[in-house]
Structures are given as structure tokens and as C-alpha cells.
């Protein structure tokens, strides 16, 4: 019997590689998203810190110029925070598309692997059938040879 040959093996190999690439792209997208979320958290902390220092300095009027500077800086930080939120939404979109691409690639790979497994099982069944047929032929010919020598 000839060796097992899955005729879609090349397609399966390509599909596995595409799935790996999609997984790597998803990881990279998640890292970018995590970095943007970290920057947003830092900006939010900085805004909160400046707002609390403005409240504290409102009670202490000794450093009026610092208070004015912080009040002017606060809208810039808020604007930057808004920009980073937009970047985060874009990163979420990229992550979602990378995740859906990975799911599509994984589905394709799984389908091909199931097909290969099914063909492998059919190959084994056929091989066992042929082996059994050969054993039966050997037993039959042995039986006839034995009966031929007795006659």
C-alpha cells in the first residue's frame, strides 16, 4: 500500500503559518493597545493631580503664578487625554479586526486538520482492510497447501 498523502498538506501548512502570523499580529495589536491605555491612565492621573493641586492652592494664595500656570495647563492635558482616548478607540478597532482575522484563520486551519484526520482514519481503515485481506489469503493458501500435501 502506498504511503499516506494528504493532498491539501501545502494548503494546511500555509493556513497554519497564516494563523501564526494572525496570532502575532493580534499580540502586537494588544501590546499597542495596552501601551495606549497605560498612557491614558498616566494622563488621567496627571489631570487628577493638577486638579487637586489647584484646589489646594486656591486655599493657599501664596503661589498665584503657579496656580495660573496649572489652570492653563489643565485644558492642554484634557485635550491630550481626548486624543489618547481616540487612539485607544482606534487600537480597539485594530485589535477587534486582528482577533476576527485570527478566528477566521483558526477556523480554516481546524477545518483542514479535521479533513486530514478524517482522511488519515480512512487510510488506516483501508490499510487494515488490505492487511486483513492479505492475512486471509495467506491462511487460505496455507490451508490449501496443507490439504494438498495430505492428499
Q: Residue ranges of the chain with pLDDT lower than 70?
A: 57-65, 67, 147-151
127 CB neighbour count, 10 Å cutoff: 13
Give the pLDDT score at 53.
78
Give the pLDDT score at 121.
96
* Sequence spans of domains, the chain: 9-116
Cβ neighbourhood burial of 151 (10 Å; 0-12, 13-18, 19+)? exposed
Q: Which helix (H) or strand (E) holds 58?
A: helix 9-59
- Give CATH for domain 9-116: 1.10.287
Give the pLDDT score at 54.
74
Would you state the cell numbers that stand for residue 83, as one nine-digit string? 486624543
Cβ neighbourhood burial of 129 (10 Å; 0-12, 13-18, 19+)? exposed
Cβ neighbourhood burial of 22 (10 Å; 0-12, 13-18, 19+)? buried
Amino acid at each position: 500500500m502506498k504511503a499516506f498523502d494528504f493532498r491539501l498538506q501545502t494548503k494546511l501548512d500555509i493556513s497554519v503559518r497564516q494563523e501564526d502570523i494572525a496570532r502575532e499580529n493580534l499580540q502586537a495589536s494588544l501590546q499597542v493597545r495596552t501601551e495606549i491605555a497605560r498612557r491614558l491612565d498616566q494622563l488621567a492621573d496627571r489631570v487628577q493631580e493638577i486638579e487637586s493641586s489647584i484646589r489646594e492652592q486656591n486655599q493657599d494664595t501664596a503661589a498665584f503664578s503657579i496656580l495660573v500656570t496649572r489652570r492653563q495647563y489643565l485644558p492642554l492635558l484634557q485635550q491630550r487625554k481626548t486624543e489618547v482616548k481616540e487612539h485607544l478607540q482606534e487600537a480597539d478597532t485594530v485589535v477587534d479586526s486582528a482577533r476576527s482575522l485570527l478566528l477566521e484563520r483558526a477556523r480554516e486551519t481546524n477545518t483542514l486538520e479535521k479533513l486530514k484526520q478524517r482522511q488519515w482514519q480512512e487510510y488506516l481503515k483501508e490499510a487494515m482492510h488490505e492487511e486483513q485481506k492479505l492475512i486471509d489469503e495467506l491462511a487460505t493458501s496455507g490451508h490449501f497447501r496443507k490439504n494438498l500435501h495430505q492428499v
